[in-house]
């Protein structure tokens, strides 16, 4: 590979060569298609892999967070959370960070409607349990 790449063709040739030599070290840059998970209330979702998330996405009803999950069957999904559920999710992620736990992690989760203790209003609640983390989760996720 030359020190200075002078053309697009030369760059692409060198890029492909490096990607081949380094076993795909360079990311593909391709968009990963994900279906939207419309998680029902009062249903336990078990054995999902939390891969990543993106917060502060403007939606029709305010800010949202896109939670990128993989189902136990290997389906790539996005769960959208906002308001209280978003706060519950971000609180879970903050606790992971405080413990030094990196994504991906394996989780179980449950969405419910709760009654406020201070008023007669209801709000949405997202409960998340950490089931596994570390290399075993990465290997299991890669095998799907």
H or E element at residue 70 = strand 62-70
Distance CA 71, CA 69 (A): 6
Q: How many CB atoms lie within 10 A of CB 62?
A: 9
Assign residue 32 a region: left if phi > 0, alpha if psi is -120 to 50, beta otherwise? beta
Q: Say what the pLDDT of residue 1 is.
A: 45
Burial 4-39 (b: 16+ CB within 10 A, else e): eeeeeeeeeeeeeeeeeeeeeeeeeeeeeebeebeb
pLDDT digits (tens, 9 = 90+) for 82-135: 999 999 999 999 999 999 999 999 999 999 998 888 888 888 999 999 999 999
Cα angle value 59/43/107 (rounded, 5°): 75
The pTM for the full model equals 0.76
- Mean of the pLDDT values across residues 46-67? 92
Confidence label for 21 from pLDDT (cuts 50, 70 and 90): low
Break the chain into its structural domains and give their ranges: 1-30, 33-143
CATH class of 33-143: mainly beta
Whether the per-residue pLDDT at 139 is higher than 70: the answer is: yes
- Mean of the pLDDT values across residues 66-79? 96
Distance CA 108, CA 131 (A): 7
Q: Say what the pLDDT of residue 8 is.
A: 83
- Mean of the pLDDT values across residues 48-57? 95
pLDDT digits (tens, 9 = 90+) for 26-46: 555 566 789 999 999 999 999
- Mean of the pLDDT values across residues 10-31? 68
CB-count burial class (<10 Å; 0-12, 13-18, 19+) for 76: middle
Q: Say what the pLDDT of residue 80 is.
A: 95
CB-count burial class (<10 Å; 0-12, 13-18, 19+) for 130: middle
Closest Cα partner for 110 from 42, 21, 9?
A: 42
């Amino acid at each position: 590979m030359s020190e200075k790449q002078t053309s697009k063709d030369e760059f692409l040739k060198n890029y492909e060569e490096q990607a081949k030599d380094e076993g795909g070290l360079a990311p593909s840059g391709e968009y990963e298609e994900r279906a939207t998970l419309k998680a029902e209330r009062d249903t336990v979702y078990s054995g999902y892999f939390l891969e990543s998330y993106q917060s502060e996405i403007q939606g029709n009803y305010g800010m949202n967070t896109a939670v990128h999950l993989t189902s136990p069957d290997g389906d790539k999904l996005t769960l959208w959370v906002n308001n209280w559920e978003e706060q519950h999710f971000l609180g879970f992620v903050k606790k992971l960070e405080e413990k030094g736990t990196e994504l991906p992690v394996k989780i179980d989760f449950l969405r419910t409607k709760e009654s406020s203790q201070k008023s007669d209003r209801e709000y949405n609640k997202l409960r998340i349990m950490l089931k596994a983390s570390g290399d075993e989760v990465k290997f299991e996720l890669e095998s799907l």
